[in-house]
Amino acid sequence: MIYWLVQSTGAHPVLERGQPPPGLLSASELEHFHALRTPKRRHDWLLGRWTAKHLVQRFLVETTSQRMALDSIEIKNEEDGSPFVELHEQHPTHHLARHATSTRRRLAACLTISHCEEWAFCAVTTQVIGVDIERVRPRAWNFVETFFTDAEARQVQAAAPVWGDTLTTAIWSAKEAALKAVKLGLTVDTRRVECQFDLDQPAEGVWKSFQVTFTPAAPASAVMHGWWSLRGGFVLTIIGPDEITM
């Protein structure tokens, strides 16, 4: 089952001002936040943490009945940039002990994060997963020729002109989500992922499936499926196992 969440900076008044809401970040995350160089990076990082922490909090309640404070759910990044979750758990101590003991535990689940403008989109599941959010906008044909496979370029040519920009955005977003799922990001040729979409434009807010093929093939343990949705001028894509909760 895939748990997912979309949030905007409108979710909390201080997020709109680029500040961390009280109780959101741990001490080391606050330090990291203040060390980020640009306002845009701080904005994106913070919105991603806000969304990811609320999602992981719900995931823990629903899968383990454990409710954790947001600042005890740390979202870190591997060297390759992929995110993971570390839980800081407080343990009751003997009444004579001076301090409560705490341990850090890495959550055995895969978290994936994407941000675009005022929105962040995250998903978490026990299997391999990647997500992406992109605003629908026109892209030059040169973009399609450079980053898409021949079969993807033919899909864009065959689509009705009114939704060509949406389909181009969806294919691009799907590639980013797929390359996040396999932890490579845009370090490899985007034509190693090929997506096959329906040529009908989906209704707003409805999740539709699409096919995704990796070259070379994804590991057998990572048979992946694609899902996409159109919301308020943005495309959301998920690459993961084939069940999705709405």
Q: Does 176 bind ligand COA (CB under 6 A)?
A: yes
- Looking at 84-92, 144-152, 160-168, 184-192, which segment touches ligand COA (CB under 6 A)? 184-192
Nearest approach, Cβ of residue 32 and ligand COA (Å): 11
Nearest approach, Cβ of residue 46 and ligand COA (Å): 9
Size of the site for ligand COA (CB under 6 A): 20
Of positions 65, 103, 142, 187, contacts ligand COA by CB under 6 A: 187
Of positions 27, 35, 39, 80, contacts ligand COA by CB under 6 A: 80
Q: Does 180 bind ligand COA (CB under 6 A)?
A: yes
- Looking at 26-34, 87-95, 135-143, 172-180, which segment touches ligand COA (CB under 6 A)? 172-180
Give the dihedral of Cα atoms 38, 43, 48, 50; nearest 10 deg: 130
Q: Please, are residues 135 and 116 in contact by the beta-carbon 8 Å criterion?
A: yes
Nearest approach, Cβ of residue 128 and ligand COA (Å): 10
Q: Does 221 bind ligand COA (CB under 6 A)?
A: no
* Angstrom distances, CA of residue 188 to CA of 87, 209, 242: 32, 24, 25
Q: Does 151 bind ligand COA (CB under 6 A)?
A: no
Q: Please, are residues 219 and 159 in contact by the beta-carbon 8 Å criterion?
A: no
Q: Does 77 bind ligand COA (CB under 6 A)?
A: yes
Kindly tell me which of 12 and 180 has the beta carbon lying closer to ligand COA. 180
Per-residue x/- track, 107-126, ligand COA (CB under 6 A): ------xxx-----------
Nearest approach, Cβ of residue 5 and ligand COA (Å): 14
Q: Note the residues at the interface with ligand COA (CB under 6 A).
A: 44-45, 48, 77, 80-83, 113-115, 132, 176, 179-180, 183-187
